[in-house]
Structure 1
Amino acid sequence: MQHVIQIQAHIGMMYLLYFGVGILGIPFWLIAGKRIGKHRAFCVAVAVSSLSIIGMFFLQAGQLLPFAIMFALKGFCFAAFQFLPLSMLADIVDLDTARSKEHRTGLFFAMSGMAHKLAMAIGLGLSLGLLALVGFDAQAAEHSDGQLMALRVLYILGPVMLYMTAFAISWRYPLTSDRQERIHQWIVRRNRRLGLASH
């Protein structure tokens, strides 16, 4: 979007703002996850981030302040995307431990890391391929209106569609905090029994 809004000279500052606000948002999302549930807090972050991205679609060249506000809002949600899914994964590990009676934490987190890297590779390759398809060259001095509109659509439509898919899946996430707590306590009691039996 930096080519659409024409803020190339400020892009470093924008990312500093993005990650800075994201770090400040960590406590908020952790508290929200405890109060309304991790999956619901994640859904809120998805909705807010989607709205900020959609808002960017209507920005015109040179509108630095509105872009900074929306980009900061998107960065604020970045913390939720980094921490809440991992916390939810830890809950899933507890559920698997209760069902399988095996500790496979490493397997789950390895699969998560692999899926994350695969998603990044696919996303990067797909976005670069689509940009090349519409004839967009980031190094070019000027871009046509059609190329800039294609960039807007790719930046907005793709992520928002994926966000809404994640929202629909996460909203129905069955492993609530109450259920996870019962599972965790069951595992603790079972481990105590096994510990006593081994002596």
Structure 2
Amino acid sequence: MSPRSDDFLPRRVHVGYALGSLTTGAFGTVPGLLLLPYLTDTLGVAAGLAGLLVLLPKAWDVLINPLAGRLSDRTRTRWGARRPYLLVAGLGVALLFAAIFAAPFDTGSAGGTENAENAGGGAGSTAYVAVAFLATATAYAFFQVPYVAMPAELTADRAERTRLLTWRVAVLALAILVSGALAPLVVTAGGGGIPGHRWMGGFVGVLIAAGAVGAFLGTAGAPAGRVRESEASLRAQVRTAIANRAFTRLLIVFVVQAVGIATVLAGVNYFAAQVLRRPDDGPTLLFAAFVGPALLVMPLWRRVGARAGKARAFTIASLLFAAGALALVAAPVLPPVAVYLIVAVMGAGYAGEQVFAMALLPDRIADDEARTGKRQAGVFTGLWTAGETFGLALGPGVFALVLALFGYVSSDTGQAAAQSGTARLGVLLGFTVLPALLVALPLPLIRAGSTRTPASAPARP
């Protein structure tokens, strides 16, 4: 059966929905990129403890995300079930994110620095960061879960969902490029240390707010999906989602890969400073090399998906990322241009991973709704985003553990301390071999639990 005309979405909705990725991209990137170095090299927190401070607030989302999904499933407003959360929670994320790096406590003069404002703030500032990050992660759960649930309700056509998600991933890549590449530059331009991080928090907060408002306005008048009966309890909904084996396998693969991606994000600053010896411009160049190609290969991945099917294309993209990460082990003896080219290969693989993971999710949701007749997209996406958030939080924690095991020395001066050869080896392995293994090893699950689903296949009758 051919898809109905009302299954196709106007370009305004494609763009409007995609703008929400400014919010998800910025919040998914910058804490993983800068929060761990901020704790270890500005506040003087030991690497192991810093990893826990990054992990625990986002791990909280594993509990709160399914609740956010259930609440959005049951929400009834004139704006629809999901859109109010985009605006209110999104603006909350923007304000709270800026607060994470505000460091309102007296920073003292730890470490003997001449500029007291650039010194660490001790236990008070550390506890403040943990609480502010927890609040931000909570608000983000109520933005992300409804946002991810929307594609399954905006259109019933699988190919149209892929087009919608391709737009979203393109904006996501742009958001990662802008936030990840510019945030370190804003820190430097703002004077480094705590003052620079305050400027960076404000800059990223504005980017997050723009995404939330853009998604809310851009999806006005878009189809909201037919309201169906939902499971009576959260426990029943979670049990139903876990019982869907195809969804569960996809979720496990996505979460493990998210840990791998997050170790790369967490290691950018350390890799640039300790391996490439370019602490000033290295992070920005690495991000440009990683994300820039992603914007160019989106049409190519869509064609690969149409020919090979989404699951197989997902596997190809993942292996491309893993191969690039393993090749990067040779970075200490490679010229910089070769390093950036290898990172570009990793970025191309990452783009495909994101496109096909996000395109497979609404297919699983739609299959479940067709089978059960119940509306529980929010529960599926609640579990999905809880897993993604946990994976993205666990990555910096794992990388911090590697740093601690290899003897990385923290600093409260706003500059990284001199490191031993063993510590630099830990940085290299945590940035290359570890993410390669995490991305490649779970792939048999996606192949075992998926059938060939071409990106261009019409919707089922």
TM-score normalised by L of structure 1 = 0.82
State the match for 1:119 in structure 2: 391
**How far has the Cα of 1:87 moved from its partner?**
0.6
**1:64-79 to 2 correspondences below 5 Å:** 64-79=336-351
Write the deviation string for residues 154-192 of structure 1: whole angstroms up to 9, x where unpaired. Answer: 2223212211223222222323217x968x424xxxxxx
Moved more, 64-73 or 158-167: 158-167
State the match for 1:47 in structure 2: 319
The CA distance in 1 between the partners of 2:346 and 2:298, in whole Å, is: 13
Contact 1:4 1:61 in 2 (8 A): no
The CA distance in 2 between the partners of 1:82 and 1:137, in whole Å, is: 34
Q: Does the C-alpha gap of structure 1 residues 166 and 27 become closer, same or farther in structure 2, counting only changes over 3 Å?
A: farther
**Pairing 1:135–2:407 present:** yes
Moved more, 120-129 or 66-75: 120-129
Q: Does the C-alpha gap of structure 1 residues 43 and 149 become closer, same or farther in structure 2, counting only changes over 3 Å?
A: same
**1:81-100 to 2 correspondences below 5 Å:** 81-100=353-372
The CA distance in 2 between the partners of 1:62 and 1:141, in whole Å, is: 24
SS at match of 1:25: helix
**How far has the Cα of 1:133 moved from its partner?**
2.8
Moved more, 31-40 or 135-144: 135-144
State the match for 1:30 in structure 2: 302
State the match for 1:103 in structure 2: 375
Contact 1:5 1:63 in 2 (8 A): no
**1:4-19 to 2 correspondences below 5 Å:** 4-8=275-279, 9-19=281-291
Q: Does the C-alpha gap of structure 1 residues 5 and 61 become closer, same or farther in structure 2, counting only changes over 3 Å?
A: farther
The CA distance in 2 between the partners of 1:119 and 1:177, in whole Å, is: 26
Write the deviation string for residues 45-89 of structure 1: whole angstroms up to 9, x where unpaired. Answer: 111111111111012257211111011111112211222111101
**Pairing 1:63–2:339 present:** no
State the match for 2:423 in structure 1: 147
Write the deviation string for residues 10-64 of structure 1: whole angstroms up to 9, x where unpaired. Answer: 3212212321211112111122111101111111111111111111101225721
Q: Does the C-alpha gap of structure 1 residues 94 and 106 become closer, same or farther in structure 2, counting only changes over 3 Å?
A: same
The CA distance in 1 between the partners of 2:409 and 2:313, in whole Å, is: 38
**Alignment coverage as a number of residue pairs:** 184
Contact 2:324 2:345 in 1 (8 A): yes
Unaligned runs of 5+ in 1: 187-199
**Pairing 1:163–2:439 present:** yes
The CA distance in 1 between the partners of 2:304 and 2:334, in whole Å, is: 35
SS at match of 2:439: helix
**How far has the Cα of 1:109 moved from its partner?**
1.8
Higher helix share: 1
TM-score normalised by L of structure 2 = 0.37
**How far has the Cα of 1:102 moved from its partner?**
1.5
Unaligned runs of 5+ in 2: 1-270
Q: Does the C-alpha gap of structure 1 residues 67 and 36 become closer, same or farther in structure 2, counting only changes over 3 Å?
A: same
Of 62, 80, 83 in structure 1, the residue corresponding to residue 352 of structure 2 is: 80
State the match for 1:194 in structure 2: none
RMSD: 2.2
The CA distance in 1 between the partners of 2:422 and 2:406, in whole Å, is: 8
**1:173-188 to 2 correspondences below 5 Å:** 173-177=449-453, 184-186=459-461
The CA distance in 1 between the partners of 2:457 and 2:286, in whole Å, is: 40
The CA distance in 1 between the partners of 2:283 and 2:368, in whole Å, is: 43
